[in-house]
């Protein structure tokens, strides 16, 4: 297990030709770019938590010949012209790893502004896709707009969050009781402790749901909450008959985070590392339009779902989810359906261990699940790539990087038919690939646009 997580991986800046087995669809042209912790020992410094390692980017390029590259993130070298520091344009100390993109190509993201002018708040900001004609030489970041701010429930203990949700008219932000201790963070380096040690979960706290109206840029005033939970990933969100429906992968504690200390990632990790909380795909259904004179204790949900929202005496709304399925993580969807009613989730299957052993396709409507697995294989987050001529939500392919438990066996990029979940082909590379976290597929035409 140490060979996968704890050992430094090597850069491969020059393209390496992959050995293709099976068939790669001719329409699949572009680059799969993936990122994850790849270096945990730098000189005399050593990181103790897997999430704290320096980023190592790797890519597979589809253009006549399939090629692989791996390089340390530019942020670890001298600054480059393409490197952006959010702090120069907006007062945030941390930002999410999962920005959203609207139909106009604008980027929407959220970040935490810590003790700025005596307040800690969560900022929603927008980066335009282009700049006005008279400012063509200026960066889009100079046109960055703070859309809305949400006050943190605590000045020195803001909520940790990794993602947020979006619908046609609303932003969905979850303030969970998995919190950063700002004073501990400020002294972490001097004390020689990890960033992860500055996080704490309070199981007796509430989890608050915030909804920002994208048209008015104001937060919905009604207070919605659920029980304490820990989550990292939104799946999707959409609106239906006056309700906001949003799906997340959630836990009842923070045991997942604690498992990835490097001291725990030993040869017995798979056998001994068991989550005390299984990840569950939870669907919350929140009525924004409801009878204000509704009886206290009554369920306000009026669309088909086992999820409930109950009016409390103090006017707050207590939400309980519908459980769609268990045991999946690192969810991805067809992004053309982001913010819309959808069917399919593509994810890793983990069950009670944080190590993924299968790739899953889950139908949120029928609850059916298709799986891909192979002995001695650890697949990564699956990325859905739509067929440009596709007509249905699952017309396309799913790409996942697969590592072998035996370091002598070569890793490969797996290409699955997204509809049938059968293998179309694989691209084998004779390199020591690292276990990654997230990735994106950039179509060839978008790469050309960036170059121009």
Could you report the per-residue pLDDT of 7-29, keeping only the tens digit for each? 666 777 788 888 999 999 999 99
Q: Residue 52 to residues 14, 49, 74, 95, 120: CA-CA distances in angstroms? A: 26, 5, 16, 16, 24
Q: Hey, which bits of 224-316 come out as E strands?
A: 224-226, 230-240, 243-251, 280-287, 308-311
Q: Answer whether residue 160 shows pLDDT above 90.
A: yes
What six digits make up the tokens of 448? Answer: 């050309």
- With the CA atoms of 414, 101, 368 and 255 taken in that order, what torsion angle do they form, in degrees rounded to the nearest 10? 80
pLDDT of 426 reads: 95
Q: Checking phi first, is residue 324 left (phi over 0); if not, alpha (psi -120 to 50) or beta?
A: alpha
Contact 310, 332 (CB under 8 A): no
Q: Answer whether residue 74 shows pLDDT above 60.
A: no
Could you report the per-residue pLDDT of 83-111, keeping only the tens digit for each? 677 778 888 888 999 999 988 889 999 99
> Which residues are 343's β-sheet partners?
none
The vertex-308 CA angle with 303 and 310, nearest 5°, equals: 115
d(CA 11, CA 39): 10
Contact 383, 439 (CB under 8 A): yes
Q: Answer whether residue 330 shows pLDDT above 60.
A: yes
Binding residues for Fe cation, by number, are 98, 162, 233, 438
Q: Hey, which bits of 40-106 come out as E strands?
A: 41-42, 45-46, 54-63, 65-72, 94-95, 100-101
Q: Which of 124, 134, 116, 133 is nearest to 99 (CA)?
A: 124
Could you report the per-residue pLDDT of 347-377, keeping only the tens digit for each? 999 866 777 889 999 999 999 999 999 998 9
Binding residues, by number, are 98, 162, 233, 438
Q: What is the mean pLDDT of residues 209-222?
A: 96
The vertex-428 CA angle with 426 and 431, nearest 5°, equals: 150
d(CA 357, CA 374): 8
Could you report the per-residue pLDDT of 40-52, keeping only the tens digit for each? 777 777 777 777 7
pLDDT of 187 reads: 84
Q: Answer whether residue 155 shows pLDDT above 60.
A: yes
- Alpha carbons within 13 angstroms on the beta-carbon side of residue 293 total 0
> Which residues are 413's β-sheet partners?
401, 427
Placement of tokens 């979940």 in the chain: 421
Q: Residue 149 to residues 108, 120, 146, 160, 356: CA-CA distances in angstroms? A: 13, 10, 8, 16, 36
- With the CA atoms of 313, 314, 315 and 320 taken in that order, what torsion angle do they form, in degrees rounded to the nearest 10? -70
d(CA 204, CA 177): 8
> Which residues are 403's β-sheet partners?
378
pLDDT of 78 reads: 43
| Total Cβ atoms within 10 A of residue 192 | 7
What six digits make up the tokens of 425? Answer: 């082909």
DSSP code per residue over 242-307: TEEEEEEEEESSSHHHHHTBGGG-STTHHHH---SS--EEEEEEEESS--TTPPTT-B---SS-S-
Phi, psi of 165 (to 5 degrees): -110, 165
């Amino acid at each position: 297990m140490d060979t996968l997580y704890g050992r430094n991986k090597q850069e491969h800046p020059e393209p390496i030709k992959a050995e293709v087995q099976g068939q790669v669809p001719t329409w699949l042209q572009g680059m799969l770019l993936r990122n994850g912790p790849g270096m945990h020992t730098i000189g005399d410094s050593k990181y103790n938590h897997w999430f704290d390692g320096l980023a190592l980017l790797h890519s597979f390029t589809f253009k006549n010949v399939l090629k692989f590259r791996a390089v340390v993130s530019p942020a670890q070298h001298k600054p480059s012209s393409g490197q952006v520091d959010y702090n120069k344009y907006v007062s945030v100390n941390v930002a999410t790893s999962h920005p959203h993109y609207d139909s106009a190509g604008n980027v929407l993201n959220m970040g935490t502004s810590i003790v700025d002018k005596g307040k800690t708040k969560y900022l929603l900001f927008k980066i335009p896709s282009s700049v006005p004609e008279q400012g063509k030489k200026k960066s889009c970041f100079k046109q960055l707009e703070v859309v809305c701010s949400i006050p943190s429930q605590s000045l020195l203990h803001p909520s940790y969050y990794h993602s947020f949700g979006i619908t046609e008219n609303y932003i969905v932000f979850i303030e969970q009781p998995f919190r950063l201790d700002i004073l501990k963070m400020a002294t972490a380096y001097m004390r020689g402790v990890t960033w992860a040690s500055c996080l704490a979960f309070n199981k007796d706290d509430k989890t608050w749901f915030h909804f920002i109206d994208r048209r008015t840029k104001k937060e919905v005033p009604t207070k919605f909450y659920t029980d304490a939970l820990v989550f990292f990933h939104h799946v999707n969100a959409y609106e239906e008959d006056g309700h906001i429906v949003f799906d997340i992968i959630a836990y009842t504690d923070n045991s997942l985070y604690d498992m990835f200390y490097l001291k725990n990632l030993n040869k017995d990790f798979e056998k001994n590392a068991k989550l005390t909380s299984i990840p569950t795909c939870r669907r919350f259904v929140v009525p924004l339009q409801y009878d204000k004179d509704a009886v206290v204790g009554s369920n306000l949900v009026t669309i088909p779902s086992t999820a409930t929202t109950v009016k409390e005496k103090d006017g707050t709304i207590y939400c309980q989810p519908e459980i769609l399925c268990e045991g999946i993580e690192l969810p991805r969807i067809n992004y053309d359906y982001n913010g819309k009613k959808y069917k399919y989730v593509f994810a890793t299957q983990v069950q009670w261990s944080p190590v993924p052993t299968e790739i899953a396709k889950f139908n949120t409507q029928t609850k059916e699940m298709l799986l891909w697995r192979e002995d001695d294989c650890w697949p990564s987050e699956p990325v859905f790539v739509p067929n440009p001529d596709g007509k249905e939500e699952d017309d396309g392919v799913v790409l996942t990087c697969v590592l072998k438990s035996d370091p002598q066996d070569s890793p490969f990029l797996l290409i699955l038919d997204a509809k049938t979940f059968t293998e179309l082909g694989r691209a084998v590379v004779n390199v020591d690939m690292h276990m990654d976290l997230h990735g994106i597929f950039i179509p060839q035409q978008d790469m050309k646009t960036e170059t121009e």
